[in-house]
Amino acid sequence: MKILALPLVAILLLISLSPVAADEIKVKTSGGTQKIGSEGSGDLAYYSLSALNEIMGGRLGWNRAGYSVQFDLNGNRFGFVVGSPYVNLNDTVYNIILPARVLRGELFIPAGTFTPILNLACPENVTWDGGGATLRIDSEWYNVTDVTIAAKQNGVLIEIFMPSPLKFEIYESEGNWLNIDFPGGRINRGKILSAINTRHVRKINAFQFDSSAQVSFRLRRNYKKFHHSYKTDPGRLQIAIEDARFNPDSAISNLNRIGPDEKIDVIVIDAGHGGKDYGAIGRHKKTREKDINLEIAKNLAKMIRKDKQFKVIMTRSKDKYVSLDDRARIANEAKADLFISIHCNSSPKQSANGFQVFYLAPAKNDAARAAAQLENAPFLLDNAAVDKQEEGDLAFILNDMIQTEFITESADLAYMADIEMRKRLKIRPRGVDHAGFFVLNSVYMPSILVEAAFISNKNEEKKLRDKKYRKKVAESIYETVKRFKAKYERI
């Protein structure tokens, strides 16, 4: 375990400032501006991590005594001790100078020193503007966004993703390192360092400098030569490394295959609910979830079919009831490569808002469990013959029998969808979450469930009734499918 601290100059600057009482700060995201509780001002300001957690879609857990707090976000884990100036992020300890505090029953964290550490765990760029009392969460700031490594017939293919072309320089260094410099690069370091490694790469490094960025790969074996080119849709730098000793049969047999073959071309679109199952109902009695889901699904199917790279299968293309069993059967019999289920969220709390993307894994919070229970309800109705005790057991089993084969790919698909939706939907992003959805648990392919907005929220119900908004949801998912194909297709 290592302990990292801020430079002495930063410490002296913080000490030289005196706090001034404040009540709120602004949090700016692609979905708009929200306000959360704060105390103090400038670099001595604190903000409520309890409130920020609701915006970023993480999970905050208190121990029974209330002295320590765990914050989970995007697969990263923070640990705080109330009254201590140290925070643990994935077994690395950072000194944030000022102690974590509890105010009005919420966890407050020093803005100036904690935000750079928070930034390490986010797919977005997170910055603190003390003078403007504003926390910015910018999903489009990075221009070097992700990395994949795949075995090919004669070596290894490394792909570095970027929204638009960048200048770059590739050079080798001692120790079997291959380095790529990007002048003007802004690198999503946390995302790249979390890239799934293979037996062909010993280590990945990612560095952000003032006016450039660098990604470095330490290969496990000497390589003969490499070629590179830039590809579009999505934008990515491809580096093909030739290895004369490479055994393609043994390497390919060890890969996690996606779907029935190496191509990603069969997409199942699942419009949630239908027929006698209306789904959730908005304040406007004619706003029915089943209708909105179908319209989004039709828009998406039209976009994907026009592309001519894919075959589209819809679990329903009109207003009819399809059981969750049948939806899963349709996908499995088609030997689909991706399964995308489209829904609208609902809550008794009418202020609940935002879009969200789920993948299959045990629910990590009450909101995820509630969403799963809402979408699993039709299955329980289909099995109405069971008594109350059996129904309770069945609900438990649904959340416990988690099919894990494609969790990694499904999680990646969900994060891709979240990024694309943040670009287009000007509502609150609730982040990526996971829960035990029956329809996802029964399909044997990477799969996600998209909640387009809250039909129970007056403003978002209005958006869901808008054709332009439904089209933007479909566009976001379409771009997600293309990104996933570019990243995972093996041929």
**Residue 45 pLDDT class (50, 70, 90 cuts):** very high
pLDDT given at position 194: 67
pLDDT-derived band at 439 (thresholds 50, 70, 90) equals: low
Same-domain check for residues 125 and 154: no
Strand order in the sheet with 201-208: 169-173, 177-183, 212-219, 201-208
Whether the Cβ atoms of residue 205 and residue 219 lie closer than 8 Å to each other: no
User: Could you tell me if residue 81 is inside a domain?
Assistant: yes
Determine the pLDDT at residue 402.
37
Helix and strand numbers, DSSP H then E, in the chain = 13, 27
User: Which tens digits make up the pLDDT trace of 245-293?
Assistant: 544 444 333 334 455 566 899 999 999 999 999 999 998 778 999 999 9
**197 belongs to a structural domain:** yes
**Assigned domain for 258 exists:** no
Find all residues with CB under 8 Å of 313, minimum gap 6, and list them: 266, 267, 268, 269, 330, 331, 334, 336
CATH number, domain at 158?
Answer: 2.60.40.3500
Q: Examine the domain organization and report whether 172 and 215 are in the same domain.
A: yes
Taking each helix axis from N to C terminus, what angle separates 467-488 and 289-307, rounded to the nearest 10 degrees? 50
Mark whether 150 and 134 lie in a shared domain: no
* Reported pTM: 0.52
Closest-CA residue to 351 (of 66, 34, 127, 135): 34
Q: Are residues 398 and 278 in the same domain?
A: yes
Q: pLDDT at position 31, please? A: 61
- Check pLDDT > 80 for residue 476: yes
Does 154 share its domain with 175?
yes
DSSP state of 445: S
Stated as kind and residue range, the H or E segment containing 333 is helix 324-333
Residue with tokens 């438990």: 396
Question: What is the predicted pLDDT for the residue at 371?
Answer: 56
Which of 253, 284, 307 marks a domain boundary? 253
| The pLDDT of residue 42 | 75
Q: What is the DSSP letter of 276?
A: T
Split at pLDDT 50, 70, 90, the class of 3 is low
Share of the chain above pLDDT 90, in %: 34
Structure tokens at 194: 């979390």
438 and 321 co-located in one domain: yes
Tens digit of each residue's pLDDT (9 = 90 or more) over 285-319: 789 999 999 999 999 999 999 988 899 999 999 99
Q: Are residues 351 and 407 in the same domain?
A: yes
What confidence tens digit (pLDDT) does each residue in 163-216 have? 888 999 998 888 889 999 999 998 877 678 766 556 678 888 888 888 899 999
Residue 165 main-chain phi, psi, to 5 deg: -60, 140
**CATH number of the domain encompassing residue 52:** 3.30.457.10
- pLDDT tops 70 at residue 18: no
Q: What whole-number distance in Å separates Cα of residue 290 and Cα of residue 274?
A: 5
Token pair 């490694």 is found at 197
> Tell me, what's the pLDDT at 376?
53
Q: What is the pLDDT of residue 253?
A: 38
- Considering its fold, how many domains does the chain have in total? 3
Answer with the one of 111, 138, 165 that is the final residue of a domain. 138
My answer on whether 182 and 94 are in the same domain is no
The pLDDT of residue 481 is 94
Read off the pLDDT band of 480 (50, 70, 90). Answer: very high
Average pLDDT of the chain to the nearest whole number: 79
Q: CA–CA separation, 93 vs 87, rounded Å?
A: 6
- Judge whether residue 441 has pLDDT over 90: no
Q: Looking at the structure, tell me whether residues 400 and 418 fall in a common domain.
A: yes
Q: Are residues 281 and 170 in the same domain?
A: no
* End-of-domain residue from the set 86, 118, 138: 138
Type of residue found at 95:
N
Return the pLDDT at 231. 85
What per-residue string of b and e applies to 144-182 under the rule 16 or more CB within 10 Å gives b? Answer: bbbbbbbbbeebbbbbbbbeeebebeeeeeeeeebbbbb
CATH number at residue 422: 3.40.630.40
Q: Are residues 299 and 431 in the same domain?
A: yes
- Give the integer Cα–Cα distance in Å for 292 and 288: 7
Range of the domain at 205: 146-253
Tell me if 259 is assigned to some domain. Answer: no
The whole-number pLDDT of residue 116 equals 92
Q: Is residue 20's pLDDT more than 50?
A: no
Q: Are residues 85 and 59 in the same domain?
A: yes
Please give the pLDDT value at position 295: 97
CA distances from 403 to 25, 259, 392, 400, 410 (A): 42, 15, 20, 9, 11
